[in-house]
Amino acid sequence: MESEAFRKLALEEIDAVYRMAMHLGRHPDEAAELTQETYLKAFKAEARFELRGHGVRPWLFKILHNTFYTRVGKRRREPTIPDDWIHTSTPSPQDVPPPAWDLAHLDWEQVDDRLKKAIDELPDHYREALLLWAVEGLKYREIAEVLGVALGTVMSRLYRARGILTARLADYAHEHGITPDPPG
């Protein structure tokens, strides 16, 4: 594929890549860095990209996924500073604001905050699979490629994510007439 055509296709997906980076990093600065690093790696490796009918989006998500989890692994291996070495002017974890993860930019204004909270509280591996499927519209096979897991693992994660959401949102579903009375 010609370099200019590849870059045009890749840049058309930048909003989706950033949106997924927000889901992973949970902070705009982290999402911006992840997006930038993803595109840097993609442009360096564009000669190895093969269209194979999937398009560039799953390939970019795979780079993003690998980049994010490489960072997570590096952070786990970083040395930590003992509490007694921290200067009193250093903000404590209680002083640092929580990461900003606002799904409003995904056109989810009509989605109840309870649903957003329930999705946010899913374990990372379930949330990522669910969002790749439900928000980004990837097929199971594409999700498996992005996450580097078996197709059955994707199906299992989606099944479990939906089960967790169903249980957590039973009252919400009842309030809106979607299901009969919640148990107990």
- pLDDT digit string (tens) for 68-109? 988 877 767 655 545 444 444 444 433 333 333 333 344 555
Domain ranges (residues) in the chain? 1-78, 109-184
Q: Give, in words, the CATH class of 1-78.
A: mainly alpha
What lies within 8 Å, CB to CB, of 170 at 6+ separation is 179, 182, 183
What pLDDT is attached to residue 182? 53
pTM given for the model:
0.55
**Length of the chain as a residue count:** 184
- Fold for domain 109-184? Arc Repressor Mutant, subunit A (1.10.10)
In this prediction, residue 55 has a pLDDT band, given cuts at 50, 70 and 90, of: confident
What pLDDT is attached to residue 18? 92
Percent of the chain with pLDDT over 70: 73
Task: Provide the sign of the torsion angle of the four alpha carbons 152, 156, 161, 163, taken in this order.
Answer: positive
Task: Provide the sign of the torsion angle of the four alpha carbons 19, 49, 55, 53, taken in this order.
Answer: negative
Q: What DSSP designation does 50 have?
A: -
Query: Mean pLDDT throughout 47-60?
Result: 76
Place of tokens 């790696």: 41
3-state secondary structure of 64: helix
The mean of the pLDDT values for the chain is: 76
Q: Is the pLDDT of residue 13 over 70?
A: yes
Residue that wins the pLDDT comparison between 75 and 45 = 45
